[in-house]
Every structure is written in structure tokens, then in C-alpha cells.
């Protein structure tokens, strides 16, 4: 099976009264991306915390950058995507391309997590070796999925982004308790500049 090497992330503000309908359309678009545009994996949900709380987020993974071309072509043909854009109740605020770095759980689950934690930071190096030493702290405490990227485009180009999926808020709490007790984690926190950490309620 092809590996995911690139991800496109899209964030869109949404009128609260349109959110349920927007998520239905987003779910349909996500399935179309996998069936007709070469996406290897998609995840979508709603930002639950932070300045963009209530916004919809869509992540779509590809083995090659040309898969993103196929996605844009699909958007033009998809009735569900056009329903979102023409509604007047949703507005794309961010769309970036991310390069996957070699950090992940030993046993990545393909089940849909209930929550995701997104963390973005600045660092001169990707620090994949240091990150991989801490992967077990996430996995041992219930993490289901992990993906680590370098941001390639937009105002945050060059920064790093980590998403970790969890089955529950309790698993998030246990993970961060374990991280705070880790010397490796404490040392890394002194070497990076975190500017974003928020929770996503994952829908599909």
C-alpha cells in the first residue's frame, strides 16, 4: 500500500446553524476524495478550542503532490463541495500543504478517533529522533493515531505540526500527565516555540 507523504489541511469558518449540514457535505466530499481523487486517508471534524473554535477542519493525505491537483479538480465537480461554497455560510480561512515526517505510532489505528490534539511549533530541526523516543508515551496512554508534519506553505511555512488522535478526553489527560513526567519531553519543550495547541472533535 502506498504511504502518505503529503497532507492538505483546510480550515473553514461555519455559521453555527449550518454546521450539521456542512459536516454532512464535508463527509461526502471526504469519501469522494478517497474514491475518485487518490486520497489515501481523510479526517474531518470541528475545532473545539482556541480562536477558531467552531470551524470545520479537513485533512487529506496523498502519496504524491499531484494528488492535490486531483483534489482541486474534484472540488469543481462535486455537488457537495459546491453546496458548501454556494451556501454563503462557510468561508475557507486556511489551506496549507504539509510534508509528512517519519514519526508515528508503532500500531496506527485506522478507526476514527473521538478527539485529536493539534500542536504547532517552531524549531530549526525536525527533531524526529527525539520525537520517536517519546512515541511510546502517547501509545501507552491510549493514543490511536499520530502524524507529524513540516508545514510547506502559508504564513506558518517551516513550522512543525503534530496531530494525535485519542478515543477519549481521559486518554488525552493521561498522555499529558505522562509527558509532563518525562525528562525528554521537558527538554524538548525548552527547545521549541509552541504557538498553537487545540482539540478537534473528530467526526469522520
- Report pLDDT for 200: 98
**b/e sequence 63-91, b meaning 16+ C-beta within 10 Å:** beeebbebbeebbeebebbebbeeeeebe
How is residue 155 written as a grid cell? 504564513
- Report pLDDT for 90: 96
Q: What is the DSSP string of the chain?
A: -PPP-EEEEEEEEE-GGGHHHHHHHHHHHHHHHHHHS--SEEEEEEE-SSTTTT-EEEEEEESSTHHHHHHHHHHHH-HHHHHHHHTSSEEEEEEEEEEEES---SS---SPPSEEEEEEEE-SS--HHHHHHHHHHHHTTT--EEEEEEE-SSTTTT-EEEEEEES-HHHHHHHHHHHHT-HHHHHHHTT-EEEEEEEEEE--
Q: Residue 3, exposed/middle/buried by CB under 10 A (0-12, 13-18, 19+)?
A: exposed
158 phi and psi, to 5 degrees?
95, -15
Query: Mean pLDDT, 10 residues at a time, over the chain (204 residues)?
Result: 90 97 98 95 97 96 92 94 96 96 95 97 95 97 98 95 98 97 94 96 98
- Report pLDDT for 1: 55
Nearest in space to 133 (alpha carbons), one of 199, 185, 61:
185
Task: Write down the domain spans for the chain.
Answer: 6-98, 102-202
- Report pLDDT for 2: 79
Quick check: do 6-98 and 102-202 share a fold?
yes
For domain 6-98, the CATH class is alpha beta
Under 8 Å between Cβ of 99 and 160? no
- Report pLDDT for 10: 97
What is this structure's pTM? 0.94
> Which fold is adopted by the domain 102-202?
Alpha-Beta Plaits (3.30.70)
Amino acid at each position: 500500500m502506498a504511504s502518505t507523504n503529503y497532507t492538505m489541511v483546510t480550515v473553514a469558518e461555519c455559521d453555527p446553524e449550518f454546521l450539521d449540514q456542512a459536516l454532512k457535505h464535508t463527509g461526502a466530499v471526504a469519501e469522494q476524495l478517497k474514491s475518485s481523487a487518490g486520497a489515501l486517508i481523510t479526517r474531518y471534524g470541528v475545532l473545539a478550542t482556541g480562536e477558531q473554535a467552531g470551524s470545520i477542519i479537513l485533512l487529506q493525505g496523498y502519496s504524491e503532490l499531484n494528488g492535490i491537483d486531483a483534489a482541486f479538480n474534484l472540488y469543481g465537480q462535486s455537488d457537495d463541495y459546491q453546496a458548501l461554497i454556494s451556501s454563503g455560510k462557510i468561508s475557507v480561512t486556511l489551506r496549507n500543504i504539509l510534508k509528512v515526517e517519519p514519526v508515528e505510532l508503532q500500531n496506527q489505528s485506522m478507526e476514527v478517533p473521538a478527539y485529536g490534539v493539534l500542536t504547532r511549533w517552531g524549531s530549526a530541526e525536525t527533531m524526529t529522533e527525539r520525537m520517536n523516543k517519546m512515541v511510546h508515551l502517547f501509545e501507552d496512554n491510549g493514543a490511536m493515531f499520530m502524524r507529524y508534519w513540516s508545514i510547506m506553505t502559508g504564513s506558518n511555512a517551516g513550522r512543525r505540526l503534530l496531530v494525535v488522535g485519542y478515543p477519549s478526553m481521559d486518554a488525552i489527560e493521561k498522555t499529558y500527565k505522562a509527558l509532563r513526567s518525562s525528562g525528554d519531553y521537558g527538554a524538548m519543550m525548552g527547545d521549541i516555540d509552541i504557538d498553537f495547541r487545540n482539540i478537534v472533535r473528530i467526526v469522520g
